Structures are given as structure tokens and as C-alpha cells.
Structure 1
Amino acid sequence: MSSAVSARQPVHTHHVEGFGTVTITPVDPAADSALIHGWVTQERARFWGMGEASRELVQEIYEDVDRRTTHHAFIVAREGVPVALFQTYDCAEDRVSECYEVQPGDVGVHLLISPGDGAPEHGFSAGLMTAFMAYVFSDPAIRRVIAEPDARNDKAIARLERTGFVLGPEVELPEIDLPEVYLPAKQARLAFLSPPEAR
């Protein structure tokens, strides 16, 4: 793990039985841009939409996220080793709000699991999802988690279903073209998860 990641304080630490200790730490755009760039530019991350991005652009994107109070990005580590990029956002302040009726307490999430070393580990994504949802629902103001993976990303959609998300409609997320950020329109599949006590 880089010294930059280890020097920052996690916002959440969660021990998952049989999986290990997961820490969730805010992204430092300058320190983490090379790591994130290495993940998002791989073919396996094509649905993340940053395959052609330079390291400098990745840093600029996460500097923009860092300036916002409604959007947050985190490096997730398992036993000290970075294994995922996790993002949360206020649905009412995001383009997804144009695609469904946002309710108070709705929070959106994005997840990119890093490329693993060697053969896939059974239960790996499930262990991470357990930690992510524990973090999100530790905020009593959060009443529902919204995901909007690319509609073609069957693997991500299946992972969400296994986690307990209920699939919603397929929608088109509108293009965002601002001086500080550009996002092309995207066909996405909405998915919804309530807190454990509400299921």
C-alpha cells in the first residue's frame, strides 16, 4: 500500500468474518491518481467510461469530486492493500435525479473492484459489498441506496442482485457538458437497496 493511503485516516473500518478488515479512505487526487488510472484504463473497466483518460485527467476528475459536498470518492483496502474505488453521491444533486423520483435519504453508489492477482477469489465482491453497505447505512439519514450500472454490464447487475438490490427500469442518464466535467449519455439499469431492517 502506498504511504499516502496509509497516512490518511479511514472514514470506516469493517471486519468481515472470513474475509478480513476493510478500510474506506477518502481519495487523495494527487496521491491516488496513478493507482486509479491503472484501474480505470483496463479493458475490464470499460463500463467506468475512463478508458482513454490520461493520469492527469483522472487527477482532475477526482479533484472536481473532492471539491463537491454532494459527491465523495474512496479508496477501499483489504488488510491494507487497495482493492477498490468506491463513490457515493446525493441522488438529488446528480443526473440520475432526471431518471426517477428521488426520495429523501437516497444515496447513489459507484463501485470499481481492482484487477486481482491470480485466480478470482470466491466471495471477494460479496465481502466488499458487505463492508460498503455497512458504511453507507451507518448514516441514519440514508434510507435507500441507488445504483445505476451500464445496462450492458451483466456482471455488475448480477452482483447487485446477489447483494439484495431490487432491479428497476432501464433509463438513459442524460449527457452532462459543463466546463469542469463532461459525461456522455448512458443507458443504465437502476437498482435499489433498502436498509436491512426495512427489507
Structure 2
Amino acid sequence: MTALPRQDVAGSGVPAPPVPRVRAPWSARPASVTEDLEQVHRWMQAPHVAEFWKQAWPMERWRAELERQAAGDHSLPVMLDFEGAPVAYLEVYRVVRDRLAGHYPERPYDLGVHVAIGELGRTGRGLGRALLREVAEGLLAADPRCTRVVAEPDARNAPSLRAFTAAGFRTVGPITLSDKSATLLVYPRSEEDLP
């Protein structure tokens, strides 16, 4: 779910979000317009993704979106593979540069993640739980200064909320964003890092 970057001093000096350092059989890499545009576009048209992402855009708009993200330091589009096959599109973002800033006591290096498992047949079988845990651990490994990975799925998305909590994310509470009522979830590096 794309958000415009927050323009303030809070994020200055904080690096762009990293690619998660995931372990085999997972692999992650920045999404590329030349390699991934058609796949991302197709996934975003899938009803189970479109319902909550609300980005079933034309291909050219997705091209512009991937290029915009790749050129900035707010969010990073990422492709996640499992056993060599693409399974998810991620957007990893810096909370201090995001609309989520101010909705909880964020820290400068907090990372947020949006996740779309593109193939409906890959959902509902525990893959999402494993994926979310691997991504959270991979982000903490990629940025030692990051102490929390957060997510804010739509509060109506019960399967997503179950997967996040089963993966070790902790429910902080409800938040209201401009386009949705969401549930704030945190995956802390340690218990002391919970908000």
C-alpha cells in the first residue's frame, strides 16, 4: 500500500530501507521494472490482493510506481521467492518517512513492511506465517540499528492478522489511516523494543 513520503527532519541521516537478508529456501531482491513489472501487475489484479491493496492499476501506473520507489529512500519494492519461485511482493519502508509516523512512538530506524502473496493457492497453508517471520528476521539482520519491524494491515483482513500474529508480530492496537482502519503490529528485536 503505497504512501507518499513524509517530508520532515526526522528521517534525515537514516538510510533507505534494505533488502531483507533471508535464508534459503527464501531469496529476496529489489523488484525491477524489466523483470517484475508484469508479475506485480498481475498479482495486484488478483481479487484477494486488490481487495486490501486497492492498487489494481494499469501496467503503466505500476511501472511509474516501481520506478518512483526505486529512485527514493522512503520505500523499496522487493520480490520474495520461495524455493526459486516468486511468491510475494513486498514494500519495505522507513516509518519516519511514512504516513505511519506519529501513530505510535516510532524510532528512527524502524522498518515497516507491506506484503502481497500473489498466488491465492499459496495462501492459507502456513506459508504466510513462515514468510512474515523470515522477512521480519531478515530486516532485523539487514539493519542492526533497526529494533522493530511494523505492519499495519487492514483491520478487516482476518487471514493477514492471523498470519502476522502467528509469525510473532505483536498487536499494538487499532490505528486510523487516511484510506483504512488498520491494526498496528510490531515484531520487536527484544521485549524491551515493544512500543
* Fold shared by both chains (TM-score > 0.5): yes
Query: Which runs of no fewer than 5 residues in structure 2 stay unpaired?
Result: 1-18
Contact 2:76 2:93 in 1 (8 A): yes
Mapped to 1, the partners of 2:125 and 2:115 lie a distance apart of: 18
CA deviations on 1:21-42 (whole Å, 9 max, x unpaired) are 1100100023311100110111
CA deviations on 1:39-83 (whole Å, 9 max, x unpaired) are 0111111101112x1011111111111111131111011121111
TM-score by length of 2: 0.80
Aligned counterpart, 2:98: 94
Q: Which has the higher contact order (CA 8 A, sep 6+)?
A: 2
Contact 2:48 2:120 in 1 (8 A): no
Mapped to 1, the partners of 2:72 and 2:78 lie a distance apart of: 14
Which structure has greater strand proportion?
A: 1
Equivalence map 1:156-175=2 (5 Å): 156-174=160-178
Return structure 1 stretches of 4+ with deviation > 4 angstroms: 196-199
Counterpart residue identity of residue 154, structure 1: A
Describe the shift of the 1:125–1:136 C-alpha distance in structure 2 as closer, same or farther (beyond 3 A): same
- Helix, strand or coil for the counterpart of 2:96? helix
Mapped to 2, the partners of 1:59 and 1:131 lie a distance apart of: 27
Contact 2:112 2:151 in 1 (8 A): yes
Shift of residue 122 of structure 1? 3.2
Mapped to 1, the partners of 2:182 and 2:124 lie a distance apart of: 27
Describe the shift of the 1:150–1:136 C-alpha distance in structure 2 as closer, same or farther (beyond 3 A): same
Counterpart residue identity of residue 98, structure 1: G
Aligned counterpart, 2:188: 194
Describe the shift of the 1:35–1:14 C-alpha distance in structure 2 as closer, same or farther (beyond 3 A): same
RMSD: 2.1
TM-score by length of 1: 0.79
1:30 aligns with 2:26: no
Mapped to 2, the partners of 1:129 and 1:172 lie a distance apart of: 23
Q: 2:139 aligns with which of 107, 132, 136?
A: 136
Mapped to 2, the partners of 1:95 and 1:77 lie a distance apart of: 28
Aligned counterpart, 1:70: 74
Percentage identity across paired residues of the two chains: 25
- Helix, strand or coil for the counterpart of 1:157? helix
Describe the shift of the 1:172–1:11 C-alpha distance in structure 2 as closer, same or farther (beyond 3 A): closer
Aligned counterpart, 2:152: 148
Contact 1:29 1:59 in 2 (8 A): yes
Describe the shift of the 1:75–1:143 C-alpha distance in structure 2 as closer, same or farther (beyond 3 A): same
Shift of residue 130 of structure 1? 3.2
CA deviations on 1:86-113 (whole Å, 9 max, x unpaired) are 1211101000113222123311111111
Mapped to 2, the partners of 1:74 and 1:108 lie a distance apart of: 13
Counterpart residue identity of residue 181, structure 2: Q
